């Protein structure tokens, strides 16, 4: 998938053409790994706009993801509703500079990415709420439509061994190399022996600290950005959520276990998931450190710095004393 970088002016023009929405103020850029995303004000209405590089093959997946998110919203989950394009499709398309662009517009949810809350965030209480809400989301995703084609990407939990291994030749930092080696060892010793027993299902796969919005009371306001959604290990959902939450506290182990407790209050772990959970948290942190280290020189380097902040310290804090190899109580 190609990176798409557009100016606010370009994005506003395309938005008006595909959705008939004319911005009353300049669009405000938001961060994204591959897309161009903006906060748009349309008179008294506020929306989030995502513009992505597309193709006939990718468009089918982009529309599938938007449809699943729309269904979750309609069923009462904290997921923004999606606004259809002028032609009635859930994701609009347009050609820009000879390339196809897919445009998704969703309602703007008032909330704060929890990673921006700093000391205001009670990570244990929030972790429990996060795990519980993610488990309830999973209960609906089980019955959701599957993707129109198999999906693979570099952030998938079930392919972390292959992805980290593939990046090893490009690692130039000794600390990142050591983290990668430790994660590969954990995956081999702890996760691989139970991998065949891990339940597979549809997962959001990216509940990180910018994709989970907190409300004014410290609860879950919204889950956003379903662009990594695929069929994979169910336990990846709480493990990924816990990995990023752990970066925002002086007690990362308590945060990781709080997410697990919240999840299990709504959806009990399978025995294999209990065995693999903590190791997968560490592996996700390692994957984060490795990918953004390797991509440090590309045009999303600033975004990568934000996404990887605190990862190395948290990985080492969780790795110590064999904690990551212990099964959940």
Per residue of the chain (329 residues), what is the pLDDT tens digit? 589 999 999 999 999 999 999 999 999 999 899 999 999 999 999 999 999 999 999 999 999 999 999 999 999 999 999 999 999 999 999 999 999 999 999 999 999 999 999 999 999 999 999 999 999 999 999 999 999 999 999 999 999 999 999 999 999 999 999 999 999 999 999 999 999 999 999 999 999 999 999 999 999 999 999 999 999 999 999 999 999 999 999 999 999 999 999 999 999 999 999 999 999 999 999 999 999 999 998 888 888 888 899 999 999 999 999 999 999 88
Tokens 């990415």 -> residue:
113
Q: CB within 8 A of 103, min separation 6: which ones? A: 14, 15, 18, 19, 49, 50, 51, 52, 85, 91, 92, 93, 94
Distance CA(216)–CA(99), nearest Å, equals 41
β partners of residue 203: 230
In the block, which residue shows the tokens 């991509």?
295
Nearest to 275 by CA among 193, 156, 155: 193
pLDDT computed for residue 1 by the predictor = 59
Give whole-number Cα distances, 189 to 161, 184, 299, in Å: 12, 9, 36
Nearest to 133 by CA among 255, 253, 24, 237: 237
Q: Specify which residues 99 forms β-bridges with.
A: 96
- List the beta bridge partners of residue 92: 103
- Report the pLDDT value the prediction gives residue 307, as an integer from 0 to 100: 87
Q: 264: which 2 tokens?
A: 């299990």
């Amino acid at each position: 998938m190609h990176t798409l970088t557009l100016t606010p002016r370009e994005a506003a023009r395309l938005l008006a053409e595909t959705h008939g929405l004319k911005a009353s103020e300049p669009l405000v850029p938001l961060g994204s790994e591959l897309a161009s995303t903006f906060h748009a004000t349309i008179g008294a209405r506020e929306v989030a706009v995502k513009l992505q590089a597309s193709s006939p093959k990718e468009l089918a997946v982009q529309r599938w993801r938007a449809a699943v998110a729309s269904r979750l919203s309609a069923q009462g989950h904290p997921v923004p509703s999606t606004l259809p394009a002028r032609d009635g499709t859930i994701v609009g398309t347009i050609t820009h500079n000879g390339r196809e662009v897919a445009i998704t517009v969703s309602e703007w949810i008032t909330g704060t990415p929890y990673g921006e809350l700093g000391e205001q965030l009670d990570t244990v209480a929030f972790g429990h709420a996060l795990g519980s809400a993610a488990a309830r989301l999973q209960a609906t995703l089980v019955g959701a439509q599957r993707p129109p084609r198999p999906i693979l990407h570099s952030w998938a939990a079930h392919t972390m061994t292959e992805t980290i291994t593939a990046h090893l030749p490009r690692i130039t930092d000794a600390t990142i190399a050591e983290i990668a080696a430790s994660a590969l060892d954990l995956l081999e010793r702890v996760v691989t022996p139970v991998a065949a027993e891990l339940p597979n299902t549809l997962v959001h796969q990216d509940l990180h600290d910018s994709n989970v919005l907190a409300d004014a009371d410290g609860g879950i306001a919204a889950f956003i950005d379903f662009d990594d959604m695929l069929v994979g290990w169910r336990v990846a959902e709480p493990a990924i959520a816990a990995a990023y939450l752990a970066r925002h506290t002086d007690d990362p182990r308590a945060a990781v276990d709080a997410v697990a407790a919240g999840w299990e209050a709504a959806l009990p772990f399978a025995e294999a998931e209990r065995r693999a959970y903590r190791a997968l948290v560490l592996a996700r942190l390692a994957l984060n450190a490795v990918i953004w280290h390797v991509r440090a020189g590309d045009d999303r380097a600033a975004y990568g710095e934000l996404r990887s902040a605190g990862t190395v310290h948290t990985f080492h804090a969780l790795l110590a004393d064999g904690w990551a190899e212990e099964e959940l109580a």
